[in-house]
Structure 1
């Protein structure tokens, strides 16, 4: 059964679109930036605009989700697909934005005929009559309770994650920078950082074993072993792990660094031959890495 499931997931993934996934995650980063803005004090009409933008982004993600990830039923929600859940999340945000705008301009709600009106309408109408933004925001918990059984926990969570007036929260510098930097840039930074650490480990290990009175082959073996250990240790934390790099690839690439550094200190053979062997080992590591990440 596990084998059948794995094959099914592989087939489903192969039919999805890489471009759709990229667009989906671009929208996700944009949504994060808006949520950061919503943690700051602002006027009601500005808040309504930001929430409306969030609704638009989630609606776009809902349309992209099937192409990006294939069918994605949510556990415990009777087969509801994530795409449908995102659509309902977008609708909830639209309803909240509509109510916030109505309060800001002292006008009526506009979105009063949606499928969620019987459940969300009474709470939204109460919010409409509360001019104080903090007290109005306190009704979001009641709105969550009113719709969660209809839209499911996944969609309703968008209400719980919406920063409410008077409940602004700090966003760390790391979170903010992470939202602004693209996935490709983060992957490249991790690859460079990991490579630098492995190179430093190889040089240091070779230097330490250089003065030792041991056979050249043993010095190189110790250098390779030390470099591989350092490479795997640096690979383990998610912060430095290059994108989808398997442990075997990390060990092979680190071994290539160690071989070159060890030969530089112990001279086990013709330099060109050693370099050729190291390049072959590194190429094998990179090849298995790239094949794994396809």
Structure 2
């Protein structure tokens, strides 16, 4: 008996893929999943804002490492959800998609978290994302060897310059926007 092949259907912007239900029940299931993904995306965007606000108040390297790791994880989740919700969305000035850029940004935050942990424990920095390590391993090692937070944040410019060719302008610029704790900012008289 020959198998019948059902053609792919497009229903209000969603596709019926092999293994998915067709018809109204399948459409409702896909719609519910999309709404769930949209809620998760909004939640993670709010988490990013909250974590960045907390970073602007924390001076301790251990707490900063924890916040940067949470920032990396949340940004990674956003990258995955972005691809699910928006597909491959190319950016005007970069060859990579927005989802890929978010994933690479998460990798940069993870590398900075490892730098902060090495400052806390006084140990050598462990290696993270190979792409980032090849481009900026030396800068990250210098940051890990610098105990002063202000001096480490000044090295972010060097890190930015080193990773732009690898991760793109959008992801590299995001690390320059990391907030410095208000306690360390110069006070206006």
Give TM-score scaled by structure 2 length.
0.77
Q: Aligned runs of 1:120-269 on 2, under 5 Å?
A: 120-165=136-181, 166-167=184-185
Q: 1:90 aligns with which of 106, 109, 121?
A: 106
The 1:40–1:134 alpha-carbon spacing in structure 2 relative to 1, beyond 3 Å, is same
User: What secondary structure, in the 3-state scheme, does the structure 2 residue paired with 1:124 have?
Assistant: helix
1:14 aligns with 2:2: no
- What is the deviation of 1:136? 1.2
Q: Provide the aligned length of Structure 1 versus Structure 2.
A: 158
Determine the C-alpha separation between the residues in 1 that align with 2:39 and 2:12.
14
Report which structure shows greater RCO (CA 8 Å, sep ≥6): 2
If you compute each CA radius of gyration, which structure gives the higher value, 1 or 2? 1
Aligned to 2:17: none
Q: 2:84 aligns with which of 67, 70, 77?
A: 67
Show structure 2 runs of 5+ residues with no match: 1-9, 15-30
The 1:141–1:131 alpha-carbon spacing in structure 2 relative to 1, beyond 3 Å, is same
Q: 1:24 aligns with which of 37, 41, 63?
A: 41
Determine the C-alpha separation between the residues in 2 that align with 1:128 and 1:22.
37
- What is the deviation of 1:160? 1.3
CA RMSD of aligned residues (A): 2.2
Aligned to 1:270: none
Give TM-score scaled by structure 1 length.
0.50
Aligned to 2:93: 76
- What is the deviation of 1:167? 4.3
User: What secondary structure, in the 3-state scheme, does the structure 2 residue paired with 1:116 have?
Assistant: helix
Determine the C-alpha separation between the residues in 2 that align with 1:94 and 1:12.
39
- What is the deviation of 1:163? 1.2
Aligned to 2:26: none
Show structure 1 runs of 5+ residues with no match: 1-10, 169-294
Determine the C-alpha separation between the residues in 1 that align with 2:11 and 2:159.
36
Structure with greater helix percent: 1
